[in-house]
Amino acid sequence: MTKSGPSRPGSARSADAVLTAARLNRRRFAAGIAGAGVSLLPRRLLGQGAQPRVVVIGGGFAGATAARFLKQMDPRLDVTLIEPNAIFTACPFSNEVIAGLREMRAQLFGYDRISGDGVAIVHQAATGVDSQARTVALGNGVKLNYDRLMLAPGSDPRFDALPGYDEAAAERMPHAWKAGAQTLLLRRQLEAMEDGGTVVMVLPALPYRCPPASYERASLIAYYLKTKKPRSKLVVLDAKDTFSMQRLFENAWKEFYPNLEWVPVSSGGNPTGVDVTAMTVSSDFDTYKADVANIIPPQKAGRIAELAGAADRTGWCPVDPVTFESRLVPNVHVLGDAVIAGAVPKSAFAANATAKICAAAVAKLVRGEVPAEPKFVNNCYSLAAPDYGFSVAGVYQPMNGQWVEVEGAGGISPIDAPRAFRSQEAKFANGWFNTITSEIFG
Ligand SMILES: Cc1cc2nc3c(=O)[nH]c(=O)nc-3n(C[C@H](O)[C@H](O)[C@H](O)COP(=O)(O)OP(=O)(O)OC[C@H]3O[C@@H](n4cnc5c(N)ncnc54)[C@H](O)[C@@H]3O)c2cc1C
């Protein structure tokens, strides 16, 4: 196995080092709140010698990239990143944590290098946005002024979408679609399950955060069961009939996982509700008794996007494809999973790439310049087993006010590749995670 482990990306520094750095970072921020441009004063006017002030909400793949890149691009800009957590927990590779193939510490990243680059970091949650006054309210009552706001809060589960599945139910039937406590809860439940038990997974309809990761999760849970609890099985109830890299996944399932039953929507897989007391999951055709249930519910943009008025009736945020400026709220740009922009995938890879595009656009806009028309590449790796990976790549460009995929420019792993090729792709997946996390947080 090319497995992750203590020597992998996030673990270049130990978890203790990350935590210590986070504490220092908090102190640095406490000093920085006075000295690094975070103020309660009225917004300074441009053209009066003050530097444009950009506030970024959310320190995940999109927001942390945007804040750091913006400051590196133009050190004169006054950039503030608002993020409630001192440590960021990454979702990519968290399926391996669930399957017991990787430790959580490899998923943890601190913000000290970003603040070292001159970004003021505020460890608070943003609780409101006044787009008229151009202020952001924080959980501690402080208000920050901005000239441009970048919203990157990721996605939230819709707890009103699947009957019986609310926030309390998620403590019994974890979604684990935000990495952290939920990831570890699901892992512990799998470990505690008797051999011979049934795991039920529920997968929603599109759009949601990183759809391929839900099939990767099914694969790695099946791997865990096969190797640790061989009399157990996994039932996957899916609100879809087709999905990305489907043949690659299905071939791997046929080869490795007779214990995995995928029930697509056309075979009655559409999930209709859960009962946490009875530990049952219902679909169009059946009710399944679960020993462990992993419910991935429908999703929407992080709540603050809604509060800012940037989310539409779909729950996601429409944007201009060149600048990522909200179509609903001026001077507010939306990044990462929260965006709905044609073909742009909800992936960490795309969040990182488009955050740079948006940062470059914002740097120009605050100087009164015109942003250039962008393009970007997305590449999504998936693991069907620890040493068995494949990927899909696409190139994207704006067209008629939307992002579209450039025909013929992308590619997908070959269907009939030898095992060494799959093993190589699993290594590339690791390499990608190392590179992106060290670019953003390292
Ligand atoms: C199991 C799993 C596996 C995945 N694997 C891959 C993969 O292999 N490759 C890939 O490219 N993508 C993968 N993804 C998708 C990837 O994790 C997301 O697309 C990516 O995290 C999106 O980045 P983001 O910055 O929009 O959101 P996030 O990374 O979730 O960051 C959002 C941040 O905003 C903060 N925030 C939220 N609300 C507020 C507020 N009110 N105030 C301040 N801060 C706030 C949060 O605390 C968080 O830090 C995976 C996802 C999952 C669930």
Each residue's pLDDT tens digit, 204-243: 999 999 999 999 999 999 999 999 999 999 999 999 999 9
Residue list, ligand 1 pocket, CB within 6 Å:
57-63, 82-85, 88, 91-92, 94-95, 125-126, 152-154, 177, 209-210, 213, 217, 302, 304, 336-337, 346-349, 351, 380-381
Q: Which atom of ligand 1 sits closest to the CA of residue 61?
A: 25
164-209 pLDDT per residue, tens: 999 999 999 999 999 999 999 999 999 999 999 999 999 999 999 9
Which band of pLDDT confidence, cut at 50, 70 and 90, is reported for residue 33?
Answer: very low
pLDDT at residue 246 greater than cutoff 50 = yes
Question: How far does residue 178's CA lie from ligand 1's centre (Å)?
Answer: 7
Which band of pLDDT confidence, cut at 50, 70 and 90, is reported for residue 49?
Answer: low
| pTM, full prediction | 0.91
Q: Mean pLDDT throughout 273-295?
A: 98
Question: How far does residue 66's CA lie from ligand 1's centre (Å)?
Answer: 14
For tokens 């049934």, the residue is 198
pLDDT at residue 288 greater than cutoff 50 = yes
Q: Which atom of ligand 1 sits closest to the CA of residue 82?
A: 43
Question: How far does residue 161's CA lie from ligand 1's centre (Å)?
Answer: 21
CB distance 308 to 318 below 8 Å = no
pLDDT at residue 273 greater than cutoff 80 = yes
Of the candidates 185, 161, 164, 163, which has an alpha carbon nearest to the alpha carbon of residue 98?
Answer: 185
pLDDT at residue 40 greater than cutoff 90 = no
Give me the pLDDT at residue 50, please.
81
d(CA 177, CA 188): 16
Give me the pLDDT at residue 13, please.
42
Identity of the residue numbered 68: R
pLDDT at residue 316 greater than cutoff 80 = yes
147-165 pLDDT per residue, tens: 999 999 999 999 999 999 9
Mutate to test the pocket of ligand 1, among 29, 56, 61, 96 (most ligand atoms within 8 A of CB): 61
Give me the pLDDT at residue 413, please.
98
Question: How far does residue 91's CA lie from ligand 1's centre (Å)?
Answer: 7
Give me the pLDDT at residue 9, please.
31
pLDDT at residue 435 greater than cutoff 90 = yes
d(CA 386, CA 220): 8
15-25 pLDDT per residue, tens: 444 444 444 44
Mutate to test the pocket of ligand 1, among 347, 380, 381, 432 (most ligand atoms within 8 A of CB): 347
Give me the pLDDT at residue 134, please.
98
C-beta atoms surrounding 140 within 10 Å: 10
Q: Which atom of ligand 1 sits closest to the CA of residue 63?
A: 25
Classify 16 as helix, strand or coil: helix
Question: How far does residue 90's CA lie from ligand 1's centre (Å)?
Answer: 7
Which band of pLDDT confidence, cut at 50, 70 and 90, is reported for residue 38?
Answer: very low
